[in-house]
Amino acid sequence: MKTVVWNSGSGRASETDTLRTHLDHHATTWIDLSETSDLVDEIKASSNTPKSTVVAAGGDGTVNAVVNALMTIEAAQRPSMGIIPLGTANDFAGTLEIPDDISLAVEILAQEAIPVDVVRIQGENMERYYANIAAGGNCVRVSEVMTDELKARWGAFSYVRGAIDVLPDMTSYCIDLNCDGEVFQKLDSWAVLVANGKTNAGRIQVAPKASPVDGLIDIVIIRDGTVGDMIEIVANNLLGDFLECEQVIFRQVKSLQLQSNPPMRFTLDGEFVDREPVRFDVVPGAVRMHMNATV
């Protein structure tokens, strides 16, 4: 039994009809994320056994919504999860090596589901989950300047183009961190990434060593520096070894506590969160996902 959560606002939503032709014979319930007022209730009504599967047919925002709904279901009853990458960037699907081609992605749904980590994020009166990456600080400002027009014009380079726009006006955040007991105080920083998946903002490798099945979150802190330092980080990021840069702190941990002045805003799986997170914890193997078993 399958429930498909699709999203008429996702980048490749026009291909949902093709997906229907592949899945309709599986007695499938379809829920449009942008129409539903209570995704949790609808999922619980249609898929409430560990033998059922909830498929997120959309981008990272849709994956995020499904993960949060599934985490409200007791672990022993939690359905497995599949992903059909019908979004624009589909960063988490990329980490799980799920192909963009719909018929190939549907074939992956038949593979055995593997327990995948998710991350719990907490702040004042706020608790939620994400699958891929929480990006805070100036990354959020880059996301803000990334208009649809800029994305269409610059494609895969739109994030670099957005970073160049933000460069002259970067905010410096003074942060205190506790990474599994290792304490850092008053670090002047530009950005904090807390990663379960490897890529963000359109397949940019911001956490190349992250694995969603290792029981750890990858913390990447980009320290405050000069414009030259930032250009070096971006250039090394494109070449793939930026974790070695002097301006970068990299840790793999189970939990992170964070305080920032000024308060640091975050995006979770590409969507803005309105409250400041203060704690991140990996929840190992929380959701069984159909994926390429070699990941």
Ligand X SMILES: Nc1ncnc2c1ncn2[C@@H]1O[C@H](COP(=O)(O)OP(=O)(O)OP(=O)(O)O)[C@@H](O)[C@H]1O
Kindly list the catalytic residues. Answer: 271
CB of 33 to ligand X, least distance (A): 5
Interface residue with ligand X among 60, 117, 218, 224 (CB under 6 A) is 60
Among 16, 47, 59, 245, indicate the residue that binds ligand X (CB under 6 A).
59
**What is the footprint of ligand X within residues 10-29 (CB under 6 A)?**
10-11
Alpha-carbon dihedral angle through residues 135, 138, 139, 145, given to the nearest 10 degrees? 140
Applying CB under 6 A, the span of 84-92, 99-107, 133-141, 176-184 interacting with ligand X comes to: 84-92
Binding flag, residue 34, ligand X (CB under 6 A): yes
215 binds ligand X (CB under 6 A): no
Stretch that binds ligand X, among 57-65, 136-144, 170-178, 255-263 (CB under 6 A): 57-65
Interface with ligand X in residues 271-290 (CB under 6 A): 271
Plot region of 123 (φ>0 → left; ψ -120 to 50 → alpha; else → beta): beta
Cβ density class 20-52: b for 16+ within 10 Å, e for less = eebbeeeebbbbbbeeeeebeebbbebbeebeb
The least distance separating ligand X from the CB of residue 271, rounded to whole angstroms, comes to 5
User: Which of 187, 11, 175, 4 lies closest to 91 in space, CA to CA?
Assistant: 11
Phi, psi of 125 (to 5 degrees): 55, 35
Q: How far is CA 23 from CA 37, 45, 88, 109, 195, in A?
A: 24, 19, 21, 10, 32
Residues that bind ligand X (CB under 6 A): 7, 9-11, 33-34, 58-62, 64-65, 87-90, 270-271
